[in-house]
Structure 1
Amino acid sequence: MEATGDFNSLFGLGYGQVPVYTRARRMNKVPFKINEMKTFLRETKRFQRAGFHDDRHNDFTIYEGAPNELNNAAWEKLLNVGVVGISDGEDLRLINGTARSITNPSVHIVELEMFHQLHCLKWLRDRYWELEGAVTTSMSVPQRQAHSDHCIDYLRQVIMCHGDLTPITFEWSQGINGYIAHHSTPHMCRDLNAIYEWAATRDDTGLRAGGNHENVDLEEHEKFD
């Protein structure tokens, strides 16, 4: 099957096995399931195997390091897209619908979750480096900087690997003369308690995920000023 890029494909992948409700939900009627969608994005050819980058053994990615012209441009390119247009028919499939585009009223707008997640991560990345610059003007804490840089880039890779396509809907607010995004879109999530409980049954290593793996020297270098 050829890739078509229609909203059925996007919506099916974004929600996975979550029941998708139609306009009946808006009219306070009993919602009904849409047949499970067969999406081209589920096909193997729409996935790619990729090892996560490890800067201990490789050069930095184009996203890492203190903000500069090159990595800022890479981050900005990631966020140049992500708010997409959907048709009237596609809008009717959303539980509460979404706003029309004011620049192109023939379409409604949704943001794909992956791009919102990347936006939030970039915001934290920018604030981190602002604070880091205020705390120290030297490289006296290189390990702490390297660890923070690793965490930011690791989360970037996780977000881009999972590629959450859940649609974020919008409404137009006359009060602020702008769009308000709704971030309470239902997601199909793994059971955190089940994962935690399973991990607890195997907790016999003497190590913890939140620690530095018993590396005393590392802990000393990562203490904040």
Structure 2
Amino acid sequence: MTFIKLFLADKKTKYVSVEDGSDTEDRATVTTSHSSKVSVSRSFYFFSLSLFILCPVLVVALFVLHGRLSKAQINDGFLKGFTTELDPIKSVISEQTVRFTGGLHYHKNGTLYRETIEGEPQYVGNPSPEIDAAWNQLLKGQYMNLVGDEASSMTDRTWKDDHGNYEVALDVMHTLHCVNKVRMALDPDYYPRKESHRIHRMHVDHCVDYLRQTVQCHGDLTPMVFSWSDDAGRVVADWKEPHTCRNFHQIRSWAEDHFRP
């Protein structure tokens, strides 16, 4: 009986008269509180789910953006000049597509020859006054004097003469000097050395190693392609791929305008 009374008492406490205002308000408060907790819980769930979905998307987007910015910075350096390059000459930098000349090919009889373009200056071959003149013209502007605003980035980096000129040389011009030095070393009878054998060899070694470092530094990634040659009877280099280069004519023209006599 006691258990039945307790059970009935519990059952009775579950039903409250509508007329009992205070208890109704308490129940309304509890219900509202519970609904609020459920609403907050659902909001937090959807917020967490949104973050879970968006975070990977944002990471991928940032990665792609970083790659594009990096490529843009590299292109800007090639076309606008890198921080290590001479400031005043950067304004003349432009891009051009060049197909290199001087490739090796085969005659029908299988003999090898080097491609040349008629009317163009020749920089290699058997020594001649014409080849020497072409090199002298190419290297004009190897050493330059900078003054005024053009010298502002070099005031604490290079020699200043008694007239206020700052002496500089573009690395591309020094590299060409080294190419010419090695060229002349191939024909010692035509170009007798002006220094001792030890100094001459040291100079040539310097130039060969400088050329190596220059080639590695610029790292031209233009593909070298091959094709079958019936004349050679084997696969040979094709030499036809274009290269993306800076316009050297404009660079040399600027250097010549600042030439130190």
Same fold flag (TM > 0.5):
no
TM superposition score normalised by structure 2:
0.33
Of the two, which has the highest radius of gyration?
A: 2
